[in-house]
Amino acid sequence: MNAKIPLENIDTSDADVVQQIDIEEFDLYEKREKIYTRNIRGFFQRVRILTGWPLLMAYFGLPWVNWGGRQSVLFDAPNDQFHIFGLTLWPEDFVLLAAILIIAAFALLAVTTWLGRVWCGYTCPQTVWTSIFMWAEQITEGSRNARIRLDHSPWSINKVLRKTAKHSLWLGVSLVTALTFVGYFSPMRELIPSLFSFSLSGWETFWILFFVVATYGNAGWLREQVCKYMCPYARFQAVMFDSDTLIVSYDAERGESRGARKKELDHKAAGLGDCIDCQVCVQVCPVGIDIRDGLQYECINCALCIDACDEVMDKMAYPKGLIRYTTENRLQHKQEHRVLRPKLIGYTAVLTAMVVVFCLILFNRDLVDVDISRDRGALYYQTADGLIENGYRLKLLNMAADTQHYQIALSGLEGAVLLGNTSLTAPPGHQAEILMRVQIEPNKLLAAQVPIEFVIASEDQTIRVFEETRFMGPLQ
């Protein structure tokens, strides 16, 4: 049976008909309203400091720390070397980079499924640097109310000085951030003198300016817009969340009905909940949402609203936790499954497997890259003594972190003699090249071409590489 939808033509020339049609227009991008955050202290903000400061100290400090005679972390792109403490990686090791990215992705999936957006709230660089810029704003322009009054006041000497001080601090932090980032690719102890002597290279100058603008814009001006519109994490977090994911939530059952009251009032008898509708939870939110409206994708789980609400509850002599870390099941008084969840178990299993594979690849990779090519001038040579001879060119790249002394031997062809320099010394990151000859009596050569192996081993035998090639002789 086919269902038919009745259609009716509308005469758009009839003004009365057109007026009855409601046309709603809306913008895909919401116009930004400046958020004036209120300063708050509390338990979770102390936790954020404990997570943020190590990140900042590591970021700004590592380029100044030496390790084994060089910068501890240096991505030396011109020389195709990537130094991470005692580990040196090469372009051939880019499979490890892919593995690291996959591990990071599954770690994010597992942690988000279990603990929600703790990465966003506590360790994301956008959150940490925005907090620094907010601190600069507070010490130059004052408290939340003072900043609102300042922005709405006419321009004056006081306003110019305060704005200048704020933007100077912002630019200073942006410059130090940009210099540090470029210092991971260009040695820091050379970069800083070059900056003050105005001898930076074109690329160094470009990237410093680029990251100054990026930091200043993202942390100073865009702020929550980066989280809401530019970061994809907020959009696909719903895939990872479930009813047992830890979230920041308002307990509506306890808080409603909300309303102002005197401290000594028996608010339960008056039909009021614990929420006094003070708006402090909204005023401290860095993304400008009202957590009482329920779970929203903009929420970064920073717990500022928890600390703010707990402070108000203390003043009202009410129990803390009106806004708290909880789960949807816990709020609805349902049974929780915090750990034994199929999704979480799956993410954790894949993450564990990836870490194991990564470690196996990392600790079993070859620390020397060997390339052996035959002399292309002729298939073989015959010496004056009647011996069959092949020539080989051996190129060796030392990928270890220190100088290595290698010994070269031959296997796979009984009776063959290896002539030439059979020892080789290569500093870290350097390529050495030698020419070698292999000779054998004709009666010991059983075929026109025979597979042979060159064995390259370090003095301590910790590095041992087998490189296969061919020995060519006359047709039998």
Domains of the chain: 28-365 (no CATH), 368-472 (2.60.40.10)
**Quick one: pLDDT at residue 304?**
96
Taking residue 294's Cβ as centre, other Cβ atoms within 10 Å add up to 11
Taking residue 117's Cβ as centre, other Cβ atoms within 10 Å add up to 27
| CA nearest neighbour of 124 among 219, 44, 217, 237 | 219
List residues bridging with 20 in a β-sheet: none
Q: Is the pTM of this model over 0.85?
A: no
| CA nearest neighbour of 182 among 216, 218, 207 | 207
Residues in the chain: 476
| pLDDT tens per residue across all 476 residues of the chain | 454 555 555 555 555 554 555 555 555 556 678 999 999 999 999 999 888 899 999 999 999 999 888 899 999 988 888 888 888 888 878 888 888 889 998 999 899 999 999 999 999 999 999 999 999 999 999 999 999 999 999 999 999 999 999 999 999 999 999 999 999 999 999 999 999 999 999 999 999 999 999 999 999 999 999 988 888 887 777 778 889 999 999 999 999 999 999 998 999 999 999 999 999 999 999 999 999 999 898 999 999 999 999 999 999 999 999 999 999 999 998 988 877 888 899 999 999 999 998 998 888 888 888 999 998 888 899 999 999 999 999 999 888 878 889 999 999 999 999 998 888 888 887 888 999 999 999 999 989 999 999 999 998 888 889 999 999 998 86
List residues bridging with 116 in a β-sheet: none
Query: How far apart are alpha carbons 183 and 186 in whole angstroms?
Result: 5
User: Residue 476's Cα: distance from chain center in Å?
Assistant: 62
**Quick one: pLDDT at residue 1?**
45
**Quick one: pLDDT at residue 16?**
55
| CA nearest neighbour of 74 among 58, 61, 60, 62 | 62
**What single-letter DSSP state applies at residue 438?**
E
Helix (H) or strand (E) holding 144: helix 144-152
